[in-house]
Structure formats: structure tokens, C-alpha cells
Amino acid sequence: MDRPAPTPDGPPGSIADVAAGLEREFAELGDWDARIARVLALGRALPALDPAFRTEDHKVKGCQSQVWLRVDHDPRSGRLRLAADSDALLMRGLLAVVLRLYDDRGPGEILAHPADVLDRLAVSQSLAPNRANGLHLVIKRIHAAALDAPGGHLSAEGGTYDAAQPR
Amino acid sequence: MTPLSPDERQWYSRQMALPEIGEAGQARIKAARVLVIGAGGLGSPLLMYLAGAGVGTIGIADFDCVETSNLHRQILHGVDRLDMLKTESAARTLAGLNPHVTVRRHDGPVNADTADRVVAGYTIVADGSDNFPTRDAVHAACLRARIPLVSAGAQMTSGTLTTHKAYEGPPHPCFRCLYPEAPAAGLAPSCAEIGVLGPAVGALGALQATEVLREILGIGPGLSGTLMMYDAWSCDLQAVALPCRTGCPACGGIPQPPVTGGNRPTSSVADSTCVPST
Ligand SMILES: [Zn+2]
């Protein structure tokens, strides 16, 4: 499936706005059954990752399910584009939430935002307490890519970066 | 107690032929209401054997969905159940095994907020969950509700099994007598990261089902005060005395009925010293 075209200004609102919106959205769903159904629906709606990127390099190891994450730095916008997939629908739903938070954001904004909203959704809202570890590993990979991207603070090189590439 | 139907008598004939069971024992099994926490590696044989044995009401609590990495050990589920809630998949399997049992689903995590509500109304709880907070919450709820808890845990190729009835007072140890400290988050690896041998977990689940039946039927002294340790690679099963821990904050504070006899009634266990039972 084609990746969404980069938006000139990035997604509306800050990551914190999106996080607050997500928390509201899930809190309003009331009971656990409705919340887990929403996560599974998000998982069904998540575009599949191009099978060419379902490689060992892109695999986030340590997760209960297989998880693949692709991170590209868009040199024109300076933002990171994310794509992710899993063989488990529940994990795809959680990855959709991660992408909603962090896709098409600048490295600085990504690094400045604490990922605790994911813990609140996964653990406190009891959506998938045993997936919190896996989500942390995904966030770690995204942060590593943000650090390496121009505007992160280590590297100043241009071009496309891929967090999954061994360095 | 509802009497057995002719169909049920036929259904369980090989089980009722056991002298320890008979028609009266089968009726007790039918009257039992057993809650199983976790429809995973332990819960699979546990639930299937309890359903097969004719436990009248079986509760299933789980919050996860079936995925491929489960299938080598979680024999309740199959490839046609991928991404389905484990409670739903388990309920389908049990319905297919025995139409005489009533299955109740408890979708969602069992934790300190929900445990009391989930265990209410059950006569025995069997915990096959894989994380400390759930096990602790389930135990605390069972202690409060005075429900026997048959608890098993498995890791890699070995595991443990015991029964908690700390509501009866010393020398019955509670879960926190066994695990005084909660493991630091992140220290206790979950099944996600470590290897696990399917039949090793399955053996423990089958032992756990046997213990549930022993509790229902009142056969033998039960496992309260005894920790069974199973190791698959050496095919070793050992019984270790599990003492009540003096000063245990979880069970030491349970008010006990006064014990008469001797010179004085004892109304508190706070200063009693637990002795290991065997
Ligand atoms: Zn205790």
C-alpha cells in the first residue's frame, strides 16, 4: 500500500494534543470491551507495511508478537515518516496509536514528548498490559531514529535515515 | 444439588467408575463453580480437563487475543482463532468438548480493581496467569472471599503448584508468605521474552486440574502448605513444605475465631509463630 503523501505542515496540533485526544477518545468508550474493540478496529484499518520492509533489520525484537517498524527522514519537511506492522491484530492497533502520535513529526518534537500516554492507555486502561514492554521497544527505536536524524542532535547529515539499519 | 441426567451418567461413566468419585462425587463436580484466570498455557489443559470432567460452571478470565506464538502451548486455540479474544476462543473449545457445562466469560484484565468482582460466586479459583500483579490481586480477592485458590506458575521448562487457603489461618500459608516482595517492574520477564516448553506448562496445567478436582471432592489433604516443584527436563516432581511466614502482612492480620482449650483464648494470630505443615 502507498505511504501517505507528506503534508506541508505536518499533522494538526502538537503530539501532546493528539495524546490528550486519544485519552479522551478511549475514556469515553466506557467499558473494556468497547476499548479493546476500538484497538482491534484501529489494527484492521492500519495500512499493511510493504512486505519488502518486513525484514530482520526492521524487526523490533523482544515483542511478544512480530513487529516491524520503518522510519524514514523526509529531507524536504525535516520530519520522520513512520510505518509499522505486526502479525498480531492487537499489536497493529497499538502501533496505529503510536503512529498517530509520532508519524510526520520533527525529531525534536518526538524526543521532547514523553511516551507515558501509551502506558496509560495500555496499562492503566488495561488494554494490553503485557504489551507495554513491546511498545517501549518500539518507542525506543523511534527515539533512536529521531536522535540520528538531522534536527535530532547528533547527526547533521542530510538524506534518508532508517532506524532499522545496523550502524 | 441437581441430580445427574441419564445422558450425563453415560457421559461420565468412566470417571464415575472411580471409587473416589461415583455418582455422589460426579454430582459434586457438577455443582462446583470454578474460575480459571488465564486461558493460556496453563489454562488450556486446565480448562479442557475441567470441562471434560463436568465442572458445572466454569469461568474464564483473560484479556488477550490469540496469536501465532501462543499456539505451540495454548492448545485451547488454533489457527482459526487468531486475533480472537482468548476468552471467546476458549469458550468455543469448551462448548465443543462438553455441552453439559456452563461457561462464563470475564473479558478484560483481572487486577486489584476488578478481582473481587470477578471471583465472586465461584467455589474454587485456579490461577494460571503469567504476571505478579494479577496473581497478587487474585489471591487477595480469594482470601477476602474465603475461596480456595489453586495456583500454578510455569517458566521455561519448570514450574510450581500449590493451594492457598490462608483464610483458615495458620498454618495455611498465603501467596505473600511465598512471595513476600513484589518483583520490581521489568525484572520479572514475561513469557514474551523467555522460552517456554509447551508440554511442561501443559503438565502443570493438568496437575492443577487434578488439584481442583481434589478440592471439589475433598480427596486427600490438598496442597495447602505444600509447594510442588516440577522440572520437565529431568522429569522431576518434588514436594516442599511451604511454611506460613511469621509477620506476613497479607495473612497475618486476618482475624481468627477464638481458639478455646488451654488456658487462654487466642484471638489474634499476630503474635503466633507459624509452623511448616507438611
Ligand atoms: Zn501470608
User: Which residues constitute the domain of residue A25?
Assistant: 15-156
Contacts of B203 (CB under 8 A, 6+ apart): B230, B232
Is A164 within the bounds of a domain? no
Contact indicator for B160, B153 with CB cutoff of 8 Å: yes
Distances (CA, A) of A74 to A16, A48, A71, A78, B95: 22, 20, 10, 5, 53
The reported pTM is 0.85
Secondary structure tally for chain B: helices H, strands E: 9, 8
CB atoms within 10 A of CB B266: 15
pLDDT greater than 50 at residue A163: no
C-alpha cell at B126: 485456579
Q: Measure the CA–CA gap between A14 and A10, rounded to whole angstroms.
A: 10
- Report in angstroms the alpha-carbon separations of A71 from A59, A102, A150, B123, B141: 12, 11, 13, 52, 45
pLDDT value at residue A3:
52
In this complex, is the C-beta atom of A77 within 8 Å of any C-beta atom belonging to chain B?
no
Query: Which of B62, B67, B71 to mutate against chain A (most A CBs within 10 Å)?
Result: B67
Out of A32, A89, A133, closest to residue B192 by CB: A133
Q: Which residues of B touch A39 (CB under 8 A)?
A: none
Cα B231 to Cα B2: distance, rounded to the nearest angstrom: 40
Which residue from A33, A63, A126 is facing B192, i.e. has the nearest CB? A63
State how far the Cα of B145 lies from the Cα of B65, in Å rounded to an integer.
29
Task: Check B177, B191, B248, B274 and give the catalytic one.
Answer: B191
Sorted by sequence, the CB contacts under 8 Å of residue A89 that are 6+ apart come out as A40, A43, A44, B65, B82, B83
* pLDDT of A165: 36
Other Cβ atoms closer than 10 A to B265 = 10
Q: Which residue of B has its CA nearest to A92?
A: B83
- Say if residue A10 is exposed, middle or buried (CB neighbours under 10 Å; 0-12, 13-18, 19+): middle
Phi-psi group of B22: left, alpha or beta (phi > 0 → left; psi -120 to 50 → alpha; rest → beta): left
Any idea what the CATH number is for the domain that residue A41 is in? Answer: 3.90.1010.10
C-alpha–C-alpha distance, residues B114 and B218, integer Å: 29
Beta bridge partners of residue A84, listed in sequence order: A69
The ranges assigned to domains in chain B are 32-252
Q: Euclidean distance between the first and final Cα of chain B, in Å? A: 33
The answer to whether A135 faces chain B, any CB pair under 8 Å, is: no
Mean pLDDT, 10 residues at a time, chain B of 278 residues: 91 98 98 98 98 98 95 98 98 98 96 96 96 94 97 95 95 92 64 82 98 96 96 97 88 54 35 33
Mapping DSSP to helix (H, G, I), strand (E, B) and coil, where does residue B173 land?
coil
Q: Does A165 reside within a domain?
A: no
> Which set of grid coordinates corresponds to residue A137?
521497544
Number of domains in chain A: 1
Q: Give per-residue pLDDT as tens, A57-100.
A: 999 987 788 999 999 999 999 999 999 999 999 999 999 999 99
Closest A-chain CA to B193 = A62
Higher pLDDT, residue A121 or B92:
B92
- A127 φ, ψ (degrees, to nearest 5): -70, -45
> How many of the other CB atoms lie within 10 Å of CB of A44?
11
A63 a catalytic residue:
yes
Q: Amino acid identity, residue B178?
A: L
CA dist B90 and B212 (Å) reads: 18
For A61, name the nearest residue in chain B, comparing CA atoms only. Answer: B193
Domain B32-252 has CATH 3.40.630.30: no
**Pick among A42, A60, A85, A89 to test the B interface (most B CBs inside 10 A):** A89
Residue A162 located in a structural domain: no
